[in-house]
Amino acid sequence: MCLALPAKIVALDAATDIATVAIGEVRKEVSVALVEDVAIDDFVLIHVGYALNKISEEEAQRTLDLFAEAGLLGEEIT
């Protein structure tokens, strides 16, 4: 089973296609080479170090809420 998490882009290096994303207080570097037209403050689905596609802020929050309800995320992330 694959699981992709929604995250917000907080920094972006367009030259290397690497973004820093945030899930709550957690920061991680991911490749955005597979997604066109990403910008700081966009929300993306991430899986194994890659952004797969952009999603709306509302969809990101709904997904994080569902993960938290299922006990998959700590409260500090939602």
Rounded-to-integer distance, Cα 76 and Cα 44, Å: 19
**pTM, whole model, 2 decimals?**
0.85
Instruction: Kindly report, residue by residue over 1-60, the tens digit of the pLDDT.
Output: 578 899 999 999 999 999 999 988 899 999 999 999 999 999 999 999 999 999 999 999
Q: CATH top-level class for 5-69?
A: mainly beta
Domain boundaries, the chain: 5-69
Rounded-to-integer distance, Cα 78 and Cα 64, Å: 6
Rounded-to-integer distance, Cα 40 and Cα 9, Å: 5
